[in-house]
């Protein structure tokens, strides 16, 4: 059986555009000899549609697009993910669905059985689960069709979430092949986790699996693809690349040409951020971006990602020295711009800073300068950058990292201004690792930027470590507290100094209000600020 896997990048709610993408991929698979073509979960809709499904015309227009697709499909079946109505009187109003299209008709509709409502997922808010799992009989083969979560076994979840196992239900009906349409978002380690899970499921069920995953960025989520086929012994027999669209046709019962695609963490993280930035910018209708260049590593890495995602001609930098900025930082900003081929302008904020201080002097009379004046500088830079964004219709990128955002080492309405926080889920230690990976073949980020001590340069001789713990220690505590959600006592038991742990915990909790006003960020770890993390601002739990 020659199966075509169409790993495509959809746009949420763009039914005409998504239908065209699906048809183009379908025809490409036909040219390669496919006998059946599989697309990702909600390929016609884009994932996740969230509360768009409640709009009165959303599902009707989806079904209209599905009918259009069905008319275009002849004797080679196409499996399409979409949203349907739930026709029952009780339960949620919609179904997460797959349509089997063949010979101009919708031959079969399959509903998703397991509806994740944890982390970044909230499907039980919208969808009613499948009641009975039945295979599709086609050309003498019994094919089990599942949707994303349906194939995830309890061994790969934090705890058993469901009292049903769709794979076992289908295997009990003697299926010959299992197909999974997926929209599984990326985080560090997820591709390897999927490979292990699929191999385990195939071996246990003794049937081959075709797994088709989405790629692309939708809001804060990045989908990495890495679609694959696994034989009945659990061996991967075909794997598609990550972070790029593509089609692959293979004979699922004969393919043995798999080459596992190993990529190091830094490469995966970088590719995810490039894809997420490109799709966010283009899907939001922008063609160019601007950002502040401080001469520091965070803005440098953000600029490299932007140049690779959009082209150097579509990236505009602005360096804005204050009275406390070193000339080296300005020089590093221009060196970076020259390396990348992006435009960079220099506009001093010293005059504006002096004017604001003078204007506030009657109110602040007799009081020493403190963090107030530091924040003035950051907010003036935000004003300048937003002005450039408005004038030239650039999307403004913020450049703060996860470590800073976690403990509030950032200025609301200042360096947090922008439309997308590109590296806000990248801890500072990972910023260094990825930046060194960027320079693996040639110097794109000036080495002086990577090697100098990090500093906000908002007061004389300022260094990040004047305020923060060493980043390797801070990031280790943050991983335990934010991602693994351990309490302070448990973290201390792992060998960390209690005062530092308590300080970090307090700073994370106190700065929830800032993060809830931050620009959306691209998720690349298992627990990002934003989608999937819902913490109250007003709370007293310690």
HEC letters along 298-317: HHHHHHHHHHHHHCHHHEEE
Is 295 labeled as ligand-binding?
Answer: yes
148 is catalytic: yes
Q: Identify the DSSP state of 51.
A: G
Please give the backbone phi and psi of residue 244, each rounded to the nearest 5 degrees, phi first: -155, 145
Catalytic one among 41, 102, 169, 479? 41
Q: What letters, b where the CB count within 10 A reaches 16 and e where it falls short, cover 89-119?
A: eeebebbbbbbbbbeeebebebbbbbbbeeb
Sequence-ordered strand ranges (E) for 231-374: 236-239, 246-251, 289-292, 315-319, 343-346
Is 233 labeled as ligand-binding?
Answer: no
- Kindly report each contact of residues 24-29 with a partner whose C-beta sits within 8 Å and lies 24 or more positions away, as own/partner: 25/245, 25/247, 26/73, 26/76, 26/78, 28/247, 29/4, 29/5, 29/247, 29/249
Q: Residue holding tokens 């009187």?
A: 89
Is 91 labeled as ligand-binding?
Answer: no
Is 189 labeled as ligand-binding?
Answer: no
Is 298 labeled as ligand-binding?
Answer: yes
Is 294 labeled as ligand-binding?
Answer: yes
The closest of 94, 84, 96, 74 to 29, measured between CA atoms, is 74
Catalytic one among 29, 62, 102, 112? 112
CA dist 95 and 128 (Å) reads 6
Please give the backbone phi and psi of residue 134, each rounded to the nearest 5 degrees, phi first: -130, 135
What contacts 515, CB < 8 A, 6 or more positions away?
405, 529, 530
Is 433 labeled as ligand-binding?
Answer: no
Catalytic one among 29, 62, 133, 148? 148
Is 292 labeled as ligand-binding?
Answer: yes
CA dist 60 and 85 (Å) reads 9
What contacts 407, CB < 8 A, 6 or more positions away?
468, 474, 478, 504, 507, 508, 511
Is 348 labeled as ligand-binding?
Answer: no
Q: H helices then E strands: how many in the chain?
A: 16, 19
Q: Residue holding tokens 């308590």?
A: 502
CB 182 within 8 A of CB 43: no
Is 299 labeled as ligand-binding?
Answer: yes
CB 386 within 8 A of CB 413: no
Is 297 labeled as ligand-binding?
Answer: yes
Sequence-ordered strand ranges (E) for 94-157: 94-102, 105-111, 136-138, 141-147
**Could you report how far apart the first and last alpha carbons of the chain are, in Å?**
57
- Look at strands 141-147 and 136-138 and give their pairing: antiparallel
Q: Which residues are annotated as a binding site?
A: 118, 184, 190, 292-299, 375, 399, 404, 514
Residues in the annotated binding site for ATP: 292-299, 399
Annotated binding-site members for L-glutamine:
118, 184, 190
Catalytic residues: 41, 112, 148
Binding-site positions for deamido-NAD(+) read 375, 404, 514
């Amino acid at each position: 059986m020659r199966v075509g896997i169409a790993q495509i990048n959809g746009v949420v709610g763009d039914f005409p555009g998504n239908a065209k993408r699906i048809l183009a991929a379908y025809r490409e698979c036909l040219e390669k000899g496919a006998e059946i073509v599989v697309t990702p979960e909600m390929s016609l809709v884009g994932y996740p549609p969230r509360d768009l499904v409640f709009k009165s015309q959303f599902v009707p227009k989806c079904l209209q697009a599905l009918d259009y697709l069905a008319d275009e499909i002849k004797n080679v079946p196409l499996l399409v993910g979409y949203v349907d109505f739930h026709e029952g009187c009780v339960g949620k109003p919609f179904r997460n669905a797959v349509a089997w299209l063949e010979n101009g008709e919708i031959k079969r509709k399959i509903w998703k059985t397991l509806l994740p409502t944890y982390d970044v997922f909230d499907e039980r808010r919208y969808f009613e689960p499948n009641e009975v799992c039945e295979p599709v009989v086609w050309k003498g083969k019994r094919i089990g069709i599942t949707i994303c979560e349906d194939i995830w076994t309890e061994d790969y979840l934090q705890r058993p979430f469901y009292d049903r196992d769709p794979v076992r239900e289908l295997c009990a009906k003697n299926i010959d092949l299992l197909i999974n349409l997926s929209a599984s978002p990326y985080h560090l380690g997820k591709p390897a986790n999927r490979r292990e899970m699929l191999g385990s499921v195939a071996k246990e069920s003794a049937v081959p699996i075709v797994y088709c995953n989405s790629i692309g960025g939708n809001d804060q989520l990045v989908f990495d693809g890495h679609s694959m086929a696994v034989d009945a012994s659990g061996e991967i027999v075909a794997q598609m690349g990550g972070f790029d669209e593509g089609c692959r046709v293979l004979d699922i019962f004969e393919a043995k040409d798999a080459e596992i695609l190993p990529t190091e963490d830094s490469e995966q993280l970088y590719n995810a951020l490039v894809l997420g930035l490109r799709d966010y910018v283009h899907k939001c209708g922008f063609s160019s971006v601007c950002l502040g260049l401080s001469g520091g590593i965070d803005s440098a890495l953000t600029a490299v990602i932007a140049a690779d995602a959009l082209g150097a001609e579509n990236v505009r930098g602005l360096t804005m020295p204050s009275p406390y900025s070193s000339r080296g930082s300005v020089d590093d900003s221009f060196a970076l711009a020259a390396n990348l081929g992006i435009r960079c302008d220099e506009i001093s904020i010293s005059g504006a800073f002096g004017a604001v201080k003078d204007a506030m002097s009657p109110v602040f009379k007799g009081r020493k300068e403190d963090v107030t004046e530091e924040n003035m500088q950051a907010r003036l830079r935000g004003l300048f950058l937003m002005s450039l964004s408005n004038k030239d219709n650039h999307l403004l990128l913020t450049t703060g990292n996860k470590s800073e955002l976690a403990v509030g080492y950032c200025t609301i309405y200042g360096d947090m201004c922008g439309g997308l926080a590109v590296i806000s889920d990248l801890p500072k230690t990972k910023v260094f690792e990825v930046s060194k990976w960027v320079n693996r073949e040639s110097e794109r980020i000036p080495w002086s930027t990577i090697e100098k001590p990090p500093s906000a340069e908002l007061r004389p001789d300022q260094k990040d470590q004047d305020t923060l713990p060493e980043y390797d220690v801070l990031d280790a505590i943050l991983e335990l507290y934010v991602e693994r959600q351990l309490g302070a006592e448990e973290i201390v038991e792992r060998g960390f100094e209690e005062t530092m742990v308590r300080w970090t915990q307090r700073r994370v909790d106190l700065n929830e209000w800032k993060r809830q006003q931050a620009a959306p960020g691209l998720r690349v770890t298992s627990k990002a600020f934003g989608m999937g993390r819902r913490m109250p601002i007003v709370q007293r739990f310690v």
